[in-house]
Structure formats: structure tokens, C-alpha cells
Chains A and B, each alone.
Chain A
Amino acid sequence: MSMDRRQFLKIAGISTVLGLGGASVMRGVRGSEAEASHVMTNEKALTAKRWAMVIDVSKFRTEEEYKRLIKACHSIHNVPDFGEPKDAIKWIWTDTYEHTFPTQPNEYMGESVKEKPFVLLCNHCANPPCVRVCPTKATFKRKDGIVMMDQHRCIGCRFCMAACPFGARSFNYKDPRLALKPEDENKEYPTRTIGVVEKCTFCTERLSKGLIPACVEAAREIAKETGTEPGMYFGDLDEPGSEVRKVLSACYTIRRKPELGTEPSVFYVIGGEKNA
């Protein structure tokens, strides 16, 4: 059998059209339910253009109070405690003034600031270096400014840890479940696994249910118990009337390592004895 060019093109054309038609019929059959469904944000969800936090360290009096913030976060997110600094996983932690603001200290600074622990967490930078270096887009910036981690994509390369100037990221050198007692686990949230990086997420899973971050909630509880003002504020930086904007316009605030240009979304009010 011989075929000229014209015949060949005709047959090829017709079979392509038939093939495409067949494929779309198959999609129609298999995907019908998926196409009729859709996803959306919760009606109750808290939303913002750019989430931000202000931490007023003058409002915290004891190490105990910081421990409560850390426990509130680490217990609901199944963050393990190996009891050894080299394996430590931290979403929220404390450090000294000098380590927090390394370019700021002067030798005449009062004990009240020098010796005070500062509470630290991911800065959710507007210009996050961790996002830029992540080869799998496991770390990415959400529309609401939160720098989120998609554990499903993390390959454990740790570029993000090298890129983050704030030490906000921890690597799972060990299986976190080794240090989590089953009865202490929050069954509603996953753990992580050996070989992935993790960090604070500004409690995205809580925001979607209409709840503020766990640490901010704990700070409010402490304030209620002691009859004082809470030391943590959370809100939309783009909203002039928001809680954080009110504090930012009323108090002098600083951010960690602003000279690096990452534009942190976490602000600090230092205070001191006079304001305390």
C-alpha cells in the first residue's frame, strides 16, 4: 500500500482530532466530581494584607512567663524537646539582648536590659532570604505576608538555615517522635520527620479557624492573670487601625538586624525600668 503526502496528513489530522476528543470525554467521566467541587477559605478565618507582631519585652517580668509562651507553641505544634542544644528544635525561644540586637549594645547599658531574655521567633520577613534560596519552593511567602513551610516539599538541604540571619530554623537531626510522648502529642497536628527543616508559621492553622497565634493568646492569658497589659500584639501592618499599628505609632520600636534589608514583620518595644 502506498500513500501520498496529502493522504497521510489527512489521516494524521483526523486521528489527532479523534484522540483529543477521546481524551476530553475520559476527563469528563473521571473528573466530573472533582470539577463540581471547589475549595475556599473558612468564613471565620482571620485575614490580613501583611501579618505582623509587636513584642513589648518590658511587659514580661519572669523567665516563667516566657516559658509559658514557648510551651503554648511547642505543645500544640508537637515540637520535640531533646534536652540537648545540638538537637534543639525551636519555633519560639529566648536569647540575650546582645545576641538579639548584635549591632546595638553599648558598654554602659543597664542590667535591666542587658540581662533580660528576649523572646524570638521567625520574623516573617517581607524580603525573606530563605524563600529565595529554597530549591523546591518548600519555603514560600503567602499573600498575607506569612513565610510558610510546606513540609511535603522539604528535601532537607538546609540552604534556608544558612540564608536566615536570625537562626529561626531548626533541622530534624533525629526522628522528633523519639522525644514526644504519645500522650503529650497534639493529635490534631502532624509531627515532622527526620531530615526536614521547620520553624514558626505564625499559626496559619489557627488563623484559618479564627484564632490568634498561640503565643499571643498565652501572653494575653498571662496579662489577665497578673492584671497587666499583654506583651504581645498581633495584627495587620497594612491596616492603620490595627492593634500592631497602634502600638507602632505610640512606642519606639526596633527590629532585628534591619541593616540586612530583610524587612522583619516582628517589632520589639524594649522599654526599660522606667516604663516597666
Chain B
Amino acid sequence: MKLYDGGKIIAGLIIFFFLVTFPFFLNIGKVNAKPEPKIDTPEIQKLAEKKCIESKAFMRAEHMKLLNDWRDSAVRNGERTYVNSKGKEFTISLQNTCMHCHSNKKKFCDECHTYMAVNPYCWNCHIAPKEKES
């Protein structure tokens, strides 16, 4: 059996292979960079107990739901105090409570959200904390 224009075909196939796999090469090393939200803000450093509103596992999985509950509770029911599962009280506020501790939005919230390609529209209205150089 004879392959006509074999050189061209094989060269073409090689070029085709690199073109198709190009995105994978381009992203080598990048995709695997897992998000590492930083909790080293001055506000959190000052805490005696470096704890969030609820446990870390709960916050990680449920913070969007918690924020929705907070929003309805404050705006619709006028209830602006949250008592957590340990009985500790927090003022219900995205800007004044969450972002007071997590004053590094870019290195914390955005770190995960960019990775997960979620883009909460909250910041169209809620004023994000001023990023400090670190």
C-alpha cells in the first residue's frame, strides 16, 4: 500500500495535534493552582479565637445560603442580630460584619470565586473594602 503525499499528511496531522491540544499546554501548571483564601487580615489577627460566624466547613459550603438568609432577615423582617449555633451574637451585615473581618476581598472571596467562575453581583451595590497592599 502506498501513502500519497505522506509527508504532508503526517506534518498536517502533527500540526493538527498541537492545535487541538494547545489549550492544555497553555494551562499547564495554572489549573492545578488550588485557591487559597487568605485569612491574615489585621482584623482577624486581632481575634483571640480565629473563628468565623460558624464552623469553617459550614461557611465553606453554606455561606451563600447564609448570606441570603441574612439579607431577607435584615431587609424584610428587620431582624439584624444573628445568634450562631454557639450562642454568640453577630450584627447581620455583609459590609460591616463579613467584610470587616475579611477585609481582603481580592485574596479571600475572589480567590475562590475566580477559580469557580462565580461572580456574585453583590458588589454592584455593596461597597467592597478598600484593598490594603500586603
Contact = CB atoms under 8 A, between A and B. Distances in A.
A119 to B, nearest CB: 26
Interface string B64-106: 0110011101111111111111000000110110000000000
A151 interface: yes
A185 B82 contact: no
A33 B79 contact: no
B55 interface: yes
Contact of A30 (B54, B61, B83, B126): B61
Nearest to B122: A190
Tell me which of A36, A39, A140 has the highest count of chain B C-beta atoms within 10 A of its own C-beta.
Answer: A39
Nearest to B99: A187
A275 interface: no
Interface of B: 54-55, 58, 61-62, 65-66, 69-71, 73-85, 92-93, 95-96, 124-127, 129
Interface of A: 30, 32-34, 36-43, 45, 78, 140, 142-144, 148, 150-152, 185, 187-193, 204-205, 207-208
A40 B81 contact: yes
A62 B2 CA distance: 101
Contacts of A207: 78
A151 B125 contact: yes
B66 A34 contact: yes
A40 B125 contact: no
A193 B61 CA distance: 28
Given A150-B76, A152-B75, A39 B83 contact: yes
Contacts of A140: 76
Tell me which of B54, B84, B127 has the highest count of chain A C-beta atoms within 10 A of its own C-beta.
Answer: B127
Nearest to B127: A187
B78 A193 contact: no
Contacts of B77: 39
Contact of A41 (B61, B78, B95, B126): B78
Tell me which of B93, B124, B126 has the highest count of chain A C-beta atoms within 10 A of its own C-beta.
Answer: B124
Nearest to B86: A36
B55 A33 contact: yes
Given A34-B66, A39-B83, A190 B78 contact: no
A144 B71 contact: no
Given A39-B83, A190-B125, A191-B127, A33 B78 contact: no
Contact of A152 (B61, B62, B71): B71
Given A152-B75, A188-B95, A40 B126 contact: no
